[in-house]
Every structure is written in C-alpha cells, then in structure tokens.
Structure 1
Amino acid sequence: MAPERDRPTSLDDWIEAGFALLAEGGTNALRIGNLCDRLHVTKGSFYWHFTDIQAYRAALVEAWGDIRDRERQRFTRMQDVAPRQRMRVMMEALVNPSHWAVERVMRTWAIADEQVADKVRQSDRRVLSALREAFVDDGFSSAEAALRSTVMFAAGIGLLHASDPGQTAPPEVRELFLDFMLR
C-alpha cells in the first residue's frame, strides 16, 4: 500500500507528476492510476482537479508551453548580450539535460496531437526569432540570418533526437559549432 500524503495535492503537484511520468515512460505512462500512485492519492483527488484524462493532458500541455515560454522569453530580452553569447545560451537551453526527456516526448507527442504541436511551434518560433536576431546583430543579412538560424535550430533538434538522453556535445565541440555557424 502506498504511503498517504501529508498535504493536499496542488495543480503543480499533478503537473510535476505528469512531467516525471512523461520523462520515464512517454505519453503512454499518462494514466490516472499511474499519476495517483506517484502522488500517493486516490482517483478522487484526480477528479477533484480534472474532469478526465483529456483535461489533465490539456493542462499538462499548457503548463509545458508556459514553462518553455518563460524560459525562451529571456532570449528576446538579451539584446545587450553579444550575439555569440546569446547563441551559446540558446544552444545550452535547447539541449539542457534537465529537460531533455520531456522535450523529446513533447516533440514526439506533437506529431499526433495538434494542441501539443501548436505549443511546440509557438516555442520554436520564439527561439528562431531570437537566433535570427543574434545573427543579424552579428552582421549577417536578414536572409542569411534566417537560413543560419534555421540550420542551427535544426541541428539542435537533431541532437535532441539522435543522441542518448542527457548526452550533449562537449563544450569545445559546441564552441567549434558556433565558430562554424558564425563564419
């Protein structure tokens, strides 16, 4: 028998539990029983917060979008930072191991779910815009900046899906990549 919780569950508890389950088992792990087991609560607690699993999934997607937006909004507020440093920060955020598993699952989930796809696209547009701006600030034409930002972003997504979870290129390789992109 699972231990009882010493406090009521909050919406944040449910969201955190969902992210943990996504990271561990993908979207198939998002089941009411799994969530309740993780939080040591009854299904009644789940239904206190959500009408059904679809409502829960919608709340989870919305929370992921909000978190990503907050993280990526800082990219648009970095105009006073040198372009190369901005790109370094963006590159690190994209492949940050602490978000790796959930990011991969969300992108995979987006293939089959338009609501998730919309959140992923919104987040990606913010990153692409900030990258494009950094390239322009480094002296590239608008067209060249658009191409380079797309290539750099696509390379990051490729690393996200092609690499072992949590494995990123070492810092010296990332710096060589920035050298290449800024030629």
Structure 2
Amino acid sequence: MTPAQNPSGNRLTIDDWLQAGYAILAEDGIKTLKIERLCARLKVTKGSFYWHFDGMPSYRAALVEGWRNLRDEDRSQIEAIGELPPRERLAQMMTSLVSPRHWTLERAMREWARSDDTVADSVRAADRRVLAAVRTAFEDAGFDPDEADLRANATFAVGIGFLHLSGRVPDPGQAAQSERFLDLMLAR
C-alpha cells in the first residue's frame, strides 16, 4: 500500500493531514474531527490516513506536537526580535498572532484546549512564554514591573480577542486596529 496524493499530484505528508485537522478544529471544533471528515477534506481514502497514523489518538498527539513545534519556532522568532525597539517588537508579536500561518492553528488549539487538559497545558505553556516576552517589551519601554505586567496582560488578552473577533478568515483591518491599540498601551 502507498500513501495517497494530494490534488497537485504530490504524496500527502503528515503536515497535509495536520493542516486539514487544524482547519476542521477551527471551523467546527473537536467533535467534528473524525477520520471520515479528514479524508473527505483531503479527497483520499481511510487507507491514506492509516498510512500515516495508527488511529485518532496518534493523530491527535501529532496535532499537539505540531502545535508545540510551531510555538518553539515562535519562541525563536521572539528571541530574534529581542533587540528591536519595544514598540516594533510588540507590533510584530501581535501581527504574527493573526497572520495566515498562525490564524487557523491558534483558533483551533484554543478551541480544543477548552475540552482537553493536555492541549490546555500546551496552550498555557505557550501563552506564558509569549506573555513573558510582551511583559519584557513593556519593561524595556520604561514601565515599572507592575505596570508592565498589567499592560502585558491587557495586550495579550486583546490580541487573543482580535483573533477570535476576526471570523473565519483574518481581517486585514485588524492591523490598523492593532497599531492604534499599541499606541494606546504605550502612552504614558
């Protein structure tokens, strides 16, 4: 048996399966994440699914692992922008949250975390790392630790709110709103 091909004629990869799962999670939630729905979305048979995964438990574990890997990449990017001025750092972090690359995944994992403790732990760990970077940016902008903590929490919450208010696709107008919000949060 060989793995199925995607519409472009290339063999499906694990990432193809993961992206399909993240899309289903973001669109309709964990209860709709079924092998049949994944196969229909990718236009392949169940045999292709079982070529890559032993079953739904291993598939779900791969989804969580994919999330962790992306978050590790994010942490590296946050560290790489650590030398930028605080406002630029904050703008890049907010923009990345609703970027096409992250949009579906962020929404999917946050939705799933509402019903799965393992996923919730992963999301919380990722959030703590990002929140620490946001807090540091506010401290670097000259706010005392308590004020930086308050502003970081508010900024993080608004960023997640922008994510959920965006609907099924990212809203291009949110970039301007994010910029105005950062001006407000950095004002003294």
Q: TM-score w.r.t. structure 2 length?
A: 0.83
Aligned ranges for residues 122-141 of structure 1 at < 5 Å?
A: 122-141=125-144
Match in the other structure for 1:82 = 85
Amino acid at match of 1:123: A
Inter-partner Cα distance in structure 1 for 2:21 and 2:175? 31
Residue 143 of structure 2 corresponds to residue 167 of structure 1:
no
More moved, 62-71 vs 160-169: 160-169
1:98 CA displacement: 4.6
Query: 4+ runs of 1 displaced by more than 6 Å?
Result: none
Match in the other structure for 1:110 = 113
Inter-partner Cα distance in structure 2 for 1:162 and 1:40? 31
The gaps in structure 1 that reach 5 residues or longer are: none
More moved, 37-46 vs 76-85: 37-46
Match in the other structure for 2:157 = 154
Inter-partner Cα distance in structure 2 for 1:49 and 1:164? 31
Match in the other structure for 2:65 = 62
1:161 CA displacement: 2.1
2:35 to 32, 36, 46: 32
What RMSD in Å do the two structures reach over aligned CA positions?
2.2
More moved, 84-93 vs 66-75: 66-75
Inter-partner Cα distance in structure 2 for 1:19 and 1:178? 29
Inter-partner Cα distance in structure 1 for 2:176 and 2:11? 47
1:176 to 168, 175, 180: 180
Q: Is the 8 A contact 1:132 1:145 kept in 2?
A: yes
The gaps in structure 2 that reach 5 residues or longer are: none
1:169 CA displacement: 4.4
1:98–1:49 Cα change, 3 Å: closer
Identity percentage of aligned residues? 49
Q: Secondary structure of 1:35's partner?
A: helix
More moved, 52-61 vs 14-23: 14-23
Inter-partner Cα distance in structure 1 for 2:45 and 2:77? 39
Inter-partner Cα distance in structure 2 for 1:97 and 1:13? 16
1:173–1:16 Cα change, 3 Å: closer
Q: Is the 8 A contact 1:83 1:135 kept in 2?
A: yes
Amino acid at match of 1:174: S
